[in-house]
Structure 1
């Protein structure tokens, strides 16, 4: 009878079921920690059969990568909204870059628990998918740097490579802190990141 009840619960639309599994996994990650997460625990909490899980995800690794991709999609929307805001003529690009840097770092640090959980458990194909998701952010940053160069507000010959170097410098610092359960001071990281970005792009920043 329990199995039949479980089967009756699998009548959710596919997109809703997938979202449910992701939400359940996210809750388990944050509540119990990454080492405790298993497919069995996810399916038990979601009240579905293991076969249902594998209709949506190839493995736990795949699910972790999807969690990170969804997080980054939300992150990208936040950043895109910031970039779409009207830019004042003065101080213009330097101030816009400062606002973008601060927003990105504070958003990342606000989600440190998820960050730590996902990266401490992902491996193989999962890590490759995580890096593909990160590449979306790097592309957005590269477009932003290129726009600043086109506006005469920055001086750099290779926006894509420069954007990747800047992103992974900050990302690597935060990853290292998260994985040892450290809590870096947000204001200190933001100040250092701003200095690095303005020196690298040679923006006119007071």
Structure 2
């Protein structure tokens, strides 16, 4: 009939509804605090609809991670494209920091098995690295900032190697070169 609203949404919209409902539940209850039925109720769909899009809760969580990373990467690229050369790289990095800080809680729930406490303990690794940097014959201007940057680079390289083990030698060489270039 002309002028009537369809009774069903397109599959992409239903998938988005499921992801949105799951994200809200994830933030309010944590990974173990909700069921597939909670998600379908939140999305306003039948339980069978869930299985048209996801095999199980793990598949749903993977999709949420992919969506998070996609949004993150798109925001970074949009900022980088506003500039040329090194300024574009700097804008990309600043956008990454802003995106992460803007959604720390979601990031942590999606990518870490436990969420942050009210007051996290100091990071012993970066504290130790700060001390090592400060003890160099020619220490960086701000050893704590440099320690944080190098720790993040180490973390990123490690994550990359986990997903692409065949790149380990190249990644570790690059990390070594980074350390050498910023400290000499």
Give TM class, smaller chain.
0.5 to 0.7
Structure number with bigger Rg: 2
Select the structure with the greater relative contact order (CA < 8 A; seq sep ≥ 6): 1
Q: Structure 1 residue 193 and structure 2 residue 149: aligned? A: yes
Matches within 5 A, 1:33-112: 33-87=30-84, 93=86, 95-112=87-104
Q: In the comparison of the two structures, how many residue pairs are matched? A: 134
Q: Describe the shift of the 1:180–1:41 C-alpha distance in structure 2 as closer, same or farther (beyond 3 A).
A: same
Equivalent position of 1:14 in the other structure: 11
- RMSD of aligned Cα (Å): 3.6
Q: Aligned partners of 1:103, 1:73: CA distance in 2, in Å?
A: 13
> Bigger CA drift: 14-23 or 28-37?
28-37
TM-score, normalisation: structure 1: 0.52
Equivalent position of 1:117 in the other structure: 109
Structure 1: runs of 5 or more not aligned:
1-8, 122-177
Q: Describe the shift of the 1:52–1:83 C-alpha distance in structure 2 as closer, same or farther (beyond 3 A).
A: same
Structure 1 residue 22, shift from structure 2 partner: 0.5
Structure 1 residue 191, shift from structure 2 partner: 8.2
Is the CA contact (8 Å cut-off) linking 1:26 and 1:67 kept in structure 2? yes
Structure 1 residue 183, shift from structure 2 partner: 9.1
Is the CA contact (8 Å cut-off) linking 1:102 and 1:190 kept in structure 2? no
Is the CA contact (8 Å cut-off) linking 1:39 and 1:50 kept in structure 2? yes
Q: Describe the shift of the 1:49–1:196 C-alpha distance in structure 2 as closer, same or farther (beyond 3 A).
A: closer
